[in-house]
Amino acid sequence: MRYLGIDYGTKRVGLALSDEGGNMAFPLAVVKNDAKLNDTIVNYVKEKQVGAIVIGHSLDMKGNENAAHAGAQALMLELTLATGLPIHLEPEWFTTVAATRFQGKTELKDASAAALILESYLSRQ
């Protein structure tokens, strides 16, 4: 089964895709967080034949939900209604920072962060 990983941000949203076996995660795309976000993600879900979605559960240094979490929760609800797929939350701290350190400042850093989130989830399955 393929998984779609999501790194939610208030301006941009990173997307990552697993291989068909759900073993490895790869950066897919960075999309704008605008009124078309839900439709854009649903299109990727259909096109890539995704079977489940993993969204980064954004936490602060103390393990509390941060400001980005409310937006991710709203997206999770919208995607649940639009796709009917199982959606999993994966705790994440500073994945964009880690992606930037690993890859440098590129346009795909948010997609790389999504791949780190998805890889973390897949490694525990």
DSSP letter (8 states) at residue 23: -
Query: In this predicted model, what pLDDT tens digit does every residue of 55-97 receive, in sequence order?
Result: 998 776 777 777 778 889 999 999 999 999 999 999 876 555 5
Write down the number of H helices and E strands in the chain: 4, 5
Neighbours of 91 (CB within 10 A): 12
Give the CATH fold of the 3-123 domain.
Nucleotidyltransferase; domain 5 (3.30.420)
Residue 105 pLDDT more than 80?
Answer: no
Per DSSP, the three-state class of 125 is coil
Specify the residue for token string 């950066």: 27
Burial class (CB in 10 A: 0-12, 13-18, 19+), 61: exposed
Query: In this predicted model, what pLDDT tens digit does every residue of 21-58 receive, in sequence order?
Result: 999 999 999 999 999 999 999 999 999 999 999 999 87
Domain ranges, ordered by start, for the chain: 3-123
